[in-house]
């Protein structure tokens, strides 16, 4: 499978964007916050063998991300996504996209929302395997006690994204604060 790749600077660091298709018909496949090391392995683990081709991100992906970071919280809702996954994962990821910006939910609430109230752990695993961070907003899921829980991009980024969506983000620092 041929996939295209670009980097985009954001307030929370460099985003690595991976998509399939051409401009006007592109779909985001991965939004990575970890750096280029391991990106190809992560793509292969999620999608199987693929070839990564450097290219400029198409407007239907880049422009909504730029608008989101500029303050239009609903802009990311317009980004086409093709994240693969199992039917259950796709169901969880679709439910994540229904959580309004600035809001949070728990794993239990998300499990109930998809009609599987006893599947909290499975929802957590699906949430954690989401390849399209920010756009499929897994950062909006918190622990049952209201605490921020694990986030692949780090808790500092999760906190910043939630604060940003609520209109109160300070400049990002990767340092964890207690």
Q: Which residues are catalytic?
A: 138
Long-range contacts of 44-53, Cβ-Cβ distance < 8 Å, separation of 24 or more: 46/84, 46/85, 46/129, 46/131, 47/1, 47/3, 47/84, 48/1, 49/1, 50/1, 50/2, 50/3, 51/1, 51/2, 51/3, 52/3, 52/4, 52/5, 52/18, 53/2, 53/3, 53/4, 53/5
Nearest CA-CA partner of 160 in 146, 171, 149: 171
DSSP 3-state of 22? coil
Pairwise CA distance, residues 36 & 173, whole Å: 20
């Amino acid at each position: 499978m041929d996939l295209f790749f670009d980097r985009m600077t954001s307030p929370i660091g460099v985003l690595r964007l991976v998509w399939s298709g051409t401009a006007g018909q592109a779909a985001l496949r991965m939004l990575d916050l970890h750096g280029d090391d391991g990106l190809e392995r992560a793509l292969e683990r999620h999608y199987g063998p693929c070839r990564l081709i450097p290219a400029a991100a198409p407007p239907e992906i880049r422009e909504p991300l730029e608008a989101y970071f500029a303050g239009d919280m609903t802009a990311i809702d317009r980004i086409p996504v093709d994240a693969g996954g199992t039917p259950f994962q796709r169901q969880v990821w679709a439910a994540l996209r229904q959580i309004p910006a600035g809001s949070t939910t728990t794993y239990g609430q998300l499990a109930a929302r998809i009609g599987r109230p006893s599947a909290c752990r499975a929802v957590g695993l699906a949430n954690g395997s989401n390849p399209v961070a920010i756009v499929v907003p897994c950062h909006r899921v918190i622990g049952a006690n209201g605490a921020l829980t694990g986030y692949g991009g780090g808790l500092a980024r999760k906190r910043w994204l939630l604060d940003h969506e609520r209109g109160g983000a300070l400049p990002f620092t990767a340092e964890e604060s207690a």
